[in-house]
Amino acid sequence: MATAETLAAQANDPSFAHIIDELKWRGLLALSTDETELRKQLEKPTTYYCGFDPTAPSLHLGNLVQLLTMRRLQLAGHNPLALVGGATGLIGDPKPTAERTLNSKETVAAWVEKLAAQTARFLDYSGSNPARLVNNLDWTSGYSAIDLLREIGKHFRVGKMLSKDAVSARLNSESGISYTEFSYQILQGLDFLELYRRYDCVMQSGGSDQWGNLTAGSDLIHKVEGKSVHLIATPLITNSDGKKFGKSEGNAIWLDSDLTSPYAMYQFWLNTDDADVIDRLKVFTFLTKTEIDDLAEQVRDEPFKREAQRRLALEVTELVHSKAQAEAARDASLALFGAGELRNLDQEVLRDALSELPSAIVREGDSVVSALVSTGLCESNGAARRAIAQGAVSVNKVKIDHEEAILSDFLVGGMAVLARGKKTLAALFLAK
């Protein structure tokens, strides 16, 4: 569960008269149903939901956008339903490129438990308007194939289903699309209908790339119940260069510390480009407009200090993990790349930090020259000797001043930091 300290520190910006205004300022409202009616709806406590499919053992930064949007709405007095898709996770939302690999029922069930626990880090499951966790397997499993086709499928028109972006892209590809994935939007529409009936849920949120699936639910409710409900969608977040946000060399940034360590999380945000950092602060932190405007001035006037990036990295790492882990990651970053002391670092934090660097297994007494070559910091023994002669090499921040130097100084856990210059680092791990 989210800690009481973390939740207590969170608040919406009081300078905004309406939650819609704050969402728009933060860049979190790409699409919605009628905004005038939506504003009226959100002037009173409203039950809303967002769904998360267990297609992996952890949520990632894209999901964090949705979780924080849900949290902002909860702080505005509304009632969140966090849906983990035990049923839809067995099918898989169609990707624009290729068919998903279907996971076993046992795997999906295990991932449901993991994702459910992660949502509790970001939503308040107590208090006056507590979040509730729901699993769409609870109602979908009760439908036979005939019942689903008769009661739900008859309300869907194939022409409209074909027009969905992901479906259209797949139909025009070599791989095509299976009926399994084609039917996904029916199941998501059923989710909204069931939550409307069970909890008086009248709003769904999601990413703009999910708009077709979101409207499947609102259309179904209108046809079956004769009622109008609401939708909001966040934009697909991209970097200033147009690349999809949240990818690091092809790998997602996960919210599970076993998949992405707190140190790796911290470094990801610390490396944010100046052109992107203010937008990231708006989306991923609870800093106020005044605080973010101040940081924007610092980016403009003193970008070399990277104060906005440091604040962003600390805030988000604390939000995803904890204050202690965020501060430990910050200290590790300073120790590696700044004036911090390597020997003060906890062994686990040091290992997490060094795991992000090029590395080699070494033995005590190995030459520094061979370590430079084996880690790739130098291309040859000759280049390594020249780097040492130029005073550019250090081990654990101690300059190496002769070419025959050997490895003898290791940190806790048999680790060492080898550097060529100030920013080109590698990790050395003592052979066991």
Strand blocks (E) in 180-281:
201-207, 230-234, 247-248, 251-252
Q: What is the pLDDT of residues 398-417, one digit of tens each?
A: 999 999 999 999 999 999 99
CATH number of 247-353: 1.10.240.10
What pLDDT was estimated at residue 406?
97
Asked if 31 and 231 touch (Cβ cutoff 8 Å), the reply is yes
Average pLDDT, the chain: 94
| The CATH homologous superfamily of the domain defined by 4-234 | HUPs (3.40.50.620)
Domain extent listing, the chain: 4-234, 247-353, 359-430
Reduced 3-state DSSP string for 75-110: HCCCEEEEEECCCHHHCCCCCCCCCCCCCCHHHHHH
List the one residue out of 70, 64, 103, 88 whose CA is nearest residue 194: 88
Rg of the chain in Å (alpha carbons): 25
List per-block mean pLDDT (blocks of 10 residues) for the chain, which spans 432 residues: 73 97 98 97 98 95 96 98 96 82 94 96 93 97 94 91 84 85 93 98 95 94 97 90 66 91 96 96 98 98 97 97 95 92 94 95 97 98 97 97 95 97 95 90
CATH for 359-430 (3.10.290.10, 3.30.2030.30, 3.40.50.720, 3.10.20.30): 3.10.290.10
Cβ-based neighbour number of residue 335 at 10 Å = 21
- 4-234 matches 359-430 in fold: no
CA distance 131 to 138: 18
Handedness of CA 14, 20, 26, 28 (dihedral sign): positive
Handedness of CA 325, 330, 335, 341 (dihedral sign): negative
